[in-house]
Amino acid sequence: MNMASDFEQIVRDLAKQIKPMISTPTQCYDDKLAQWIRFHGLEGADVPSVVAYQASLNLLLKALICRLTGLVNMPRLVPAHIILAEFNKVTRNAGWGALPLSYLDELAITANLSLDMRIIEDIELFLRQNSSDDVIGTVYTKLIPQEARRILGQFWTPAPIAEFMTRWAVRRVGDDVLDPAFGSGIFLLMAIKRLITLGQTEGEASKHVAGVELSPLAFVMGAANILLRFSQAKPALLLGDFIIPQREPLTILRESTTDYNVGALQLTLPGLEPVAVTASFPGRFDAIICNPPYTRHHRLPETYKKTWAIQVEQQFGLRLSRFSSLFAYFVVQATRLLKSDGRMAFITPAAVFEAFYSRQVKEFIRRHLRLRAIITFHESLSVFEGVDTAACITLLEGLQAGESESVIHIEVRRWPGVETLLNAVHEGKAATYSWGITYPIVVQELKPHSKWTIITRENQRLRDERFIPLSKIARIMRGIATGANDFFVLSDAEVERWRLNSRYLRPVLTKNREAPGYIFDKADFNRLGLEGKKRWLLYLTEPVQAGTPEAEYIHYGEELGLHLRSLVQTRPLWYLMEQREPAPIYFTYLSRKRTRFIHNRAGVLALNVFLCIYPEPAITEDEERLKALLAVLNSIISKNILRHIGRTYGGDTIKLEPREMDHLPVLNPLKLEDAEYKYLSSLFDKLCCADSEESEEAIRRDIDKIAELSKLLYRQ
């Protein structure tokens, strides 16, 4: 074996024997599979393939761990149930307890699998030869699609970033270190390596390292990665929920006696009985390092959130928003386990400090921790491979770590190396480097309602008297939410097929990519028709008349069950559309390429993937003043400020809600001299005709120069 693809192929080959157990399950397995699907958020995935890959990798890694520990002497061909029994001995000896049999284990037994131990030897040799890479984690992410990893937040931290976080947090021989969601084990590995560098032996270092993991498969992945690199390691690993002892659906399992018939062999093995298990450690930690699952609030069961909210309010007097992501829960729970002079390093999406519901967790940090540094990554850097999310590292200390007048904010534009970044944090001064910007922020200026992830150099523009909030000259609202886009938005062919009356149809924009430029005109709208795109909104504002094509179409929608959807049920009649006039300007508020303010010259409506901007009549009715405003909105200055008022998701993606857009500072075109607004108008025309990104950037810089000129003053 000489390539990772060989290891991946072994997993795939073994999965072929498991897949039939999932494709044609018994009623018993239907229930267990349903629980596994809910646990991992596999709805909509190719479930038989994904689960078969998981079961295959699970068995291979458990056999590998048995070999790595040297505690077993297996024959050449070993049945799955023997591997699992031996693995149980290994976990007991390591102090991890008797891990429960998972659904994946049962699949391997039922499929009557056996492993050739020579393959395991080859896998071990290959992984040891490539020990600097997380081959196991890489293979897992190749086999398991991103959506199937999202609910448990299974996105691995790159090694250089993990090393930086660990070196900042772990400073002394004998520091006790915790990773509350260890995944493939990168932080545990870095913690052991760091403690060895500080002077401990491998065995001693590992005894000061602990980890918690909710996923049974990720637990095995992390354990295998540690033992591959440190064969004598005995970290304290717990399979359980770091937050609270109960989660729906219940996923932590205990042993019970169940008889299984595997071929002609009668076995008595641990079964699956749900029981609450919580992580428990005998003390607090000097360092807590974590990439917490970024599980969004709607994925968290209500009982889970309510139980945790009660605990937080009772202990800290803090009410967390029900919209909080799992990150907020992890920060609070980690604080409980941190020594008063300990250190925490978390890597998260930047959005956790930008969203409106993050106020409470920021308030918690201000009260109960010392914030030392916030490190963000430029939108051009993708920290998590394949994930369009801007990353943020937060460095925190316990209250006894000492006061500090300022927090160092660092924006990394090019990875500078671990030593350079550590030095920048330590120095804590304002500076501009080839790799990024450092900027100290006075602690008192970090208010819970403000965004903590933006370099504040741009904040000076927010105070510039030449700029006013957009809400002073325009009304902003979200585009139309239909509740069932595929039904309410139709193509020309669908309109013709149902014979719908044109009086009940409105032209509409449905996707950002359908308006690729800075102007959307009638030619663009006609192009959508030629391409067969959906471009007509069924715009009913009164009850349909019986016997009409519209009534027939509404009946068809009811047959599909669309009238039962939650959004449409809030209407007097489920099919009545929001009444809206076309906006002169649309903003692509969640575009994954270029954020743009678009001149709507076609008079179309827009769905809620856009924000609608309605300038006051004096601007709307003057084409040149409107284009001057569009030029300013599309400037580099505006784009940078949008990051202050909105949320960044990486890959040049910015999300804003209407009330956030209200605060965007803009030059008021009604207060500009004639020559000034006419020149800005001409620059917008040039921007619309630019034939490359380089040309666009040059024109944007010209717009910025106009906006920056000191002579550009408002009329008094």
Please give the full DSSP string across 148-201, using - where no structure is assigned.
HHHTTT--PPPHHHHHHHHHHH--STT--EEETT-TT-HHHHHHHHHHHHHT--
DSSP code at position 209: E
Q: What is the dihedral of CA 551, 554, 556, 562, to 10 degrees?
A: -170
Same domain, 553 and 688: no
pLDDT given for residue 290 in this prediction: 93
Kindly state whether residues 18 and 141 are assigned to the same domain: yes
Are 658 and 686 part of one and the same domain? yes
pLDDT band at 141 (very low <50, low <70, confident <90, very high): confident
Any domain includes 656: yes
3-state secondary structure 660-709: HHCCCEEECHHHCCHHHHHHHHHHHHHHHHCCCHHHHHHHHHHHHHHHHC
Domain count, the chain: 3
Among residues 535, 560, 583, the one where a domain terminates is 583
Same domain, 578 and 625: no
What confidence category does residue 540 fall into, taking pLDDT thresholds of 50, 70 and 90?
A: very high
Same domain? 566 vs 624: no
Residue 394 covered by a domain? no
Residue 557 lies in a domain: yes
- Do residues 390 and 351 lie in contact, with contact meaning Cβ atoms separated by under 8 Å? yes
* Residue 686 and residue 576 share a domain: no
> Are 349 and 392 within 8 A, CB to CB?
yes
Average pLDDT over residues 617-629: 95
Q: Are 407 and 375 in contact (CB under 8 A)?
A: no
Q: pLDDT, tens digit, for every residue of 10-21?
A: 999 999 999 888
pLDDT beyond 90 at 242: no
pLDDT, residue 283, reads: 66
Residues 38 and 140 occupy one common structural domain:
yes
From 131, 148, 165, the end of a domain falls on 148
Question: Over the stretch 333-374, which tens digit does the pLDDT of each residue have?
Answer: 899 899 999 999 999 887 777 776 778 888 888 889 999 999
Q: Which of 499, 501, 500, 528 is nearest to 513 (CA)?
A: 528
Residue 500 lies in a domain: yes
Q: What is the DSSP letter of 210?
A: E
| Cα 195 to Cα 188: distance, rounded to the nearest angstrom | 11
pLDDT at 555 over 90: yes
| Three-state secondary-structure class, residue 317 | coil
Q: Does residue 705 share a domain with residue 624?
A: yes
Q: Are strands 474-478 and 654-655 parallel, antiparallel or unpaired?
A: unpaired
Which of 100, 124, 148 finishes a domain?
A: 148
Tell me whether residue 28 is in a domain.
yes
Lowest mean per-residue pLDDT among 16-30, 169-183, 274-288, 551-565: 274-288
Q: Would residue 374 count as lying in a domain?
A: no
- Domain span at residue 642 reads 461-473+616-716
Does residue 277 lie in a domain region? no
pLDDT for position 278: 41
Q: Clarify whether residues 683 and 628 are in a common domain.
A: yes
- Residue 123 is assigned to a structural domain of this protein: yes
pLDDT (mean) for 619-648: 86
The pLDDT score that the predictor gives to residue 272 is 30
* Same structural domain, 507 and 467: no
Arithmetic mean of pLDDT, 550-554: 96
The answer to whether the beta carbons of residues 593 and 451 sit under 8 Å apart is: no
Whether 686 and 575 map to the same domain: the answer is no
In contact, 625 and 619? CB cutoff 8 Å: yes
Which residues make Cβ contacts (< 8 Å) with residue 30, sequence separation at least 6?
Answer: none
Q: What is the pLDDT of residues 106-137, one digit of tens each?
A: 899 988 999 988 888 888 888 887 776 778 88
Q: What mean pLDDT value characterizes the chain?
A: 82
Same domain, 637 and 509: no
